[in-house]
A and B are shown apart, each in its own frame.
Chain A
Amino acid sequence: MKNQNKAIAIVLVLLAFAAAVLAIVHFAIREQVPEGAIAIHVGEAVKYVDPSKLTQVPVKGSVINGKGQEIPVDEQGYELSELLKAAKIDASSIGGIKVTAADEFSASLTKDEVNESGKAYIVSGDEGLQLVVFGDPNMKRNVKKVERIEVE
C-alpha cells in the first residue's frame, strides 16, 4: 500500500513537472502581441494593427448560440477587410484567413467571407477583441480574445 501511494505521488509530481516545463516552453515561443493589437501574419512577415486607431462601423445583426437561440448583436467594430487594409494587404488577393485567439482556438474564413460586406467583423467586447461572423448556424467561429490573423 505504501509503495502504491509512493508510485501515485511520483506520477503526480512527474505530470506536474511535465506541465510546468511545457508551460515554460509555450510561453517562451508564443508570440507576444501588444495589448489591444492584432498580429497579422503574411508568410514570415508580421504586422501589428491597433484596431482602436481605425474607424469603427456599426455591427448589427444576430448570431445563433449553442441552444439554437438568436442572440442580437449591436456593437461597434471593424470590418476584417479594413483591418487587412490597415496592414497594407489587399483583401481581394488573399486565399483566406485564420483568426486565432490567445488560447490558440482558431477559425478560418474564406476570401469571399472576408470581402463580403456585413459578414465578418472584429468587435471590442468585455473579453477583448472578438470575431463576429454573421450567417453561421452556430457561434463556433466567433473567436474571443483575438490575437492573430494568418493570411493564406
Chain B
Amino acid sequence: MKNQKLLRLIFMALCCDLGLFAKRIIAPFANILTDSLHIPGGIGTAFSLLFLVVAAMIIPKFGTATLMAAVQSILALAFGMVGSMGALAPIGYIVPGVVIDTVLLLGRRSRADYKLSMMLANMLGSVSAGLAANIIVFRLPAIPLALYSAVALFSGAVCGLLAAELYCRVAPILGRELRKDI
C-alpha cells in the first residue's frame, strides 16, 4: 500500500472516531438544549458530522464521507451506540455521509468558496440525518418536525463554520500530503 493511501486511511479513521465520540461528549449539553425545546435531538449530530466534513474536504474524493459514515455505523453497532434506531442505525449514519459527499462535489464543480461548501455540507448532512431518524423512529408531527429540522440546520451551519475553521488550520499542515496521487 502506498504511503499516501495509508496516511489518508489513518486520517479518515481518526476523523471517524472523533466524530463518533464527539457526539457522546457533547450529548449532555445538547440534551439540555433539545429537552428545553421539547424535540428529540438535532444538535449532537451536527457536531459529529463536522469531522466528516473536514476529512471529506481535505481528501477531495467522492465517497470519503460515505466510507467514513459506513465505518462509523459499523463501530456504532459494535459498541451498541445505536440509540433508538436499533439495527437501522447505519441508515442514519450513511445518509448524511452521501449528502456531504454530494454537496462537497457540487461545491468543487461550481468552484464555490470552501467555507460556504462546508457550511452547506454540514447543514444538509445534519438535517438529512434528522429526517432519516424521523422516518425510521420519531415520526414527529409537523410543527415539532419543522423545529427539529430548523435546529438541525442552524446547528449544522454553526458546526460547518467550525469545520471550515478547523480545515483552515489542518489543511496547510496535512493537506498536501493527503492529496498526493488523487
Contacts and interface: CB of A to CB of B under 8 A. Distances in A.
Contacts of A15: 150, 153-154, 157
B141 to A, nearest CB: 7
A12 B154 contact: yes
Contacts, number: 80
Interface in A25-71: 25-27, 29-30, 65-69
B154 A65 contact: no
Given A18-B150, A19-B151, A102-B38, A67 B80 contact: yes
Given A7-B116, A67-B79, A104 B154 contact: no
A76 B139 CA distance: 30
A115 interface: no
Given A65-B80, A105-B138, A106-B139, A19 B40 contact: no
A73 interface: no
Given A15-B153, A19-B154, A8 B35 contact: no
A1 B164 CA distance: 14
A104 B141 contact: yes
Interface of B: 34-35, 37-40, 79-84, 86, 113, 115-116, 119, 137-141, 143-144, 146-147, 150-151, 153-154, 157-158, 161
Interface of A: 1, 4, 7-8, 11-12, 15-16, 18-19, 22-23, 25-27, 29-30, 65-69, 101-106, 138, 140
21 contacts: A4-B113, A8-B119, A12-B158, A15-B150, A19-B153, A26-B38, A26-B147, A27-B38, A29-B143, A65-B80, A66-B81, A67-B79, A103-B35, A103-B38, A103-B40, A104-B39, A104-B140, A106-B138, A138-B86, A140-B84, A140-B86
